[in-house]
Structure 1
Amino acid sequence: MAVEHDPSHSPRAYYGAELRRLRELAGLSQEALGQLVFCSGGYIGQMEVAVRKPQEDLSKRLDEALKTDGHFLRVYQMVRKASRYPDFFADAAELQASAQSISEFGPLLVPGLLQTPDYARAVFESADPLRKAADAEALVAARVARSEILDRANAPLYWAVLDESVLRRPVGGSAVMFGQLRHLAELVLSRKALIQVVPFSAGAHALMEGSLCLMTFEEAPPVAYVEGPYSGQLVDNPSTVAECALAYDLVRAAALSPKVSLALIDSAAEDYANAPDREVA
């Protein structure tokens, strides 16, 4: 069976459309097909609407169950090649592009969707000082391109909670931080993002262990994404996602109001503007 890719679809959306078409052609429900390939019917449904990224082993099992002569494995290779992101983050990045709402907690860094090019560059350079400049710029471009979803007419509702340490740590130096914090303020004032800050005075709070991203969708259940150094995990178990959502609500409750948070962001930006190691144009 030849792969006839519709250029109007992303490879991932094409995979999902083909999965639904061939499943229905075989007269199988999502649950019935899931039993044949050892996954849940919900997972099949999420792949059909391009919420979940297909996997190599599952693609092979789909070809066997639906007798499609390697079709899904070939389309899977297209999906894999199309991603601009590390394997551990690719699923989350693509899900953010189709989410109705995105809620993130940043304990150490400004979340990727909110980063300026200079801030992102400083993050990548500090992570690997020996990285080639061209490779670093490619990573910066990919990260900045993701932020375009906040400019869409159908942009997701975006809500971020940041620990105050995110504002105080001079990533890239005072000039970079001044630009980054001004960017955060502009996103808030243009109503593209809601941002709250958990102040140092709040003491211990939920989610001190790490970052969290919660996503909701129009046609699929919510998911959570947690990340560590060079690793990440997409969580779709309903009870675990509910626990993550509760933790996010708790950290949001510990944060300053959006209005007071904006004032703190502006104050921190002013501190960087007046730092002795830089002048703000």
Structure 2
Amino acid sequence: MRRKDIDGSESVPSFYGKELRWKREQAGLTLQQLAEGSFYGLSHLSEIERGQRRMPHDLAEHVDRVLKSDGFFARRCEDVRKARAKGHADYYVEVLELEDRAQDIEEWMPDVIPGPLQLEPYIRAVIHATHPSESEERTAEKVSARRERSWLFEDPTGPETWVVMSELVLLRPILDAEQMAEQLAHIVEVARHRRFIPQILPWNSDTHPFMMGTTRLLTFHDAPPLMYTEGMYSGQVIDDPGTVRQYSKAYDRLRAAALPPGASLEIIEQAAEDYRDGKLHRGLGHRPLAEEQPQQR
């Protein structure tokens, strides 16, 4: 079987990875031989060569020693890190790499639609709300970067994803009626064709876990689970096993408080129809959408 070549012109990480493969093969080493003596495995190096992961600084120093490359890879680490972060906040770079490796993702969204499900108008509205003075060039960069993450929900080979959203996400018309209808219809379409499973937590639900902040639990084939929490301008990866377990059990309670997936999908469809019919939103003075759905589980 012919080995697939790496197109180093695609991105900085791809260029970096192609250079690593070239220098490794020039030295007559296999990936396994290059990994020996480091804390990293063959698959980690392979993904770096393909431009799919950035190289940690300690691994870059190890590679420079083995390949006698005079600090080349260690010096380029920061360039690759910045390239991976283009269009994303600096604190999110590590999460991008974790998403690439995740087997399952469970997420709580109290305020907005999950990023990979957002269409361009919705992305722009969220960006303008949090960064009102940002340039159009930077905004366009962020829109592109967020749409590139759509594979998480749309690619059949992506991680299995479970998302609990507050009903208020549907009732908050941050776009005009037509655009909100299109955005919510997109969620329904993705949910029906992929392994993305939605649940809606009614807006008037009693006290429940995760009453503040976006939270995401990531599990992996070959590593312990991690939790990621995010505020408006910051994010944190939590890897302490005891703390991650607490978050995981809290997420189970959150799912139990939310409506079943089938009823939740009907609620999202109903919200899309309401926007399309010009009703805009039900508002807190009307019966919430969730109350119109059967409560059978």
TM-score interval, smaller chain? 0.7 to 0.9
Secondary structure at 2:108 match in 1: strand
Aligned amino acid, residue 73 of structure 1: A
8 Å CA contact retained: 2:173, 2:280: no
Aligned equivalent of 1:108: 111
Contact between 1:113 and 1:147, CA under 8 Å: does it hold in 2? yes
Corresponding position of 2:142: 139
Q: Which runs of 5+ in 2 are unaligned?
A: 25-30, 282-297
Residue equivalent to 2:295: none
Written as runs of structure 1 = structure 2, the 5 A alignment for 1:58-137 is: 58=58, 69-83=70-84, 84=86, 85-137=88-140
Conservation of the 8 A alpha-carbon contact between 1:11 and 1:78: no
Distance 2:205 2:277 in 1: 27
Whole-Å Cα distance in 2 between the matches of residues 116 and 143 of structure 1? 9
**Equivalent position of 1:229 in the other structure:** 232
| 1:12–1:270 Cα change, 3 Å | farther
Deviates more, 1:231-240 or 1:12-21: 12-21
Distance 1:224 1:52, change over 3 A: farther
CA drift at 1:54: 5.3
Shift in alpha-carbon separation, 1:232–1:62, aligned structure 2, 3 A: farther
Contact 1:60 1:73 in 2 (8 A): yes
Question: Counterpart of 2:199?
Answer: 196
Across the aligned residues of Structure 1 and Structure 2, the Cα RMSD in angstroms comes to: 3.3
Which residue of structure 1 aligns with residue 216 of structure 2? 213
Off by >6 Å, runs of 4+ in structure 1: 11-20, 49-52, 63-68
Aligned residues: 257
Q: Percent identity?
A: 35
Please tell me whether the aligned partners of residues 149 and 156 of structure 1 are also in contact (alpha carbons under 8 angstroms). Answer: yes
Give the 3 Å change call, closer, same or farther, for CA 202–276 of structure 1 in structure 2.
closer
Partners of 1:232 and 1:14 in 2: CA distance: 31
Aligned to 1:267: 270
When the two structures are superposed, what TM-score results if normalisation uses the length of structure 2? 0.73
Deviations along 1:68-96, one digit per CA (max 9) or x if unpaired, are 74244234134213312221111112321
Residue of 168, 171, 185 corresponding to 2:188: 185
Q: How far is the alpha carbon of 1:21 from its aligned partner?
A: 4.5
Distance 2:215 2:227 in 1: 7
Offset at residue 264 of structure 1 (A): 1.2
Whole-angstrom CA distance in 1 between matches of 2:245 and 2:32: 28
Q: 1:6 to 1:188 in 2, by over 3 A?
A: closer
How far apart are the structure 2 equivalents of 1:15 and 1:98? Answer: 23
| Counterpart position of 1:243 | 246
Task: Tell me the amino acid that sits aligned with residue 275 of structure 1.
Answer: G
Name the TM-score, length of structure 1 as normaliser: 0.77
Name the counterpart of 2:286: none
Structure 1's unaligned 5+ residue stretches are 31-43
SS of residue matched to 1:200: coil
